[in-house]
Amino acid sequence: MEEHPELAMTTVDLSNTTALHTAASQRHMEVVEYLIEAAGSSLAAIAKSNGKTALHSAARNCHMEVVKVILAVEPDTAMRIDKKGQTPLHMAVKGQSLDVVSS
């Protein structure tokens, strides 16, 4: 990755899912931190074809540590809406994550 940081931006499927989306949804903190460091904060702003960002996935799955990392580098993602009009806060409520909702 150090020689080719653009690989972190590569989509892994037809739905525009990046490595960060996958790492965030599965709470792989070391990978999340590495990808953001290697590719920059703009990686956190990339939405899948359904409009969901990595923050949406982390919030839905109650991954507070991931939510904090993403918000620290790309705070505007907190207001992003998906194709259903849902923000990451909506996803946190769906996931019944009181920690994410209250922060």
Q: pLDDT tens-digit profile of 37-77?
A: 888 778 899 999 999 999 999 999 999 999 999 999 999 99
CATH number of the domain enclosing 64:
1.25.40.20
> What is the distance between the alpha carbons of residues 10 and 20, in angstroms, rounded to a whole number?
10
| Structural domain includes residue 101 | no
Residue 39: the pLDDT is 80
Residue 73: the pLDDT is 94
Domain span including residue 75: 5-96
| Structural domain includes residue 102 | no
Average pLDDT of the residues of the chain:
86
> Is 77:71 a contact under the CB 8 Å cutoff?
yes
Provide the domain count of the chain: 1
Residue 63: the pLDDT is 94
Give residue 46's region: left, alpha or beta (phi > 0; psi -120 to 50).
beta
> Higher pLDDT residue, 32 or 42?
32
| Structural domain includes residue 31 | yes
Residue 60: the pLDDT is 93
> Is 47:53 a contact under the CB 8 Å cutoff?
yes
Enter the pTM of the model: 0.84
Token couple for 36: 């953001």
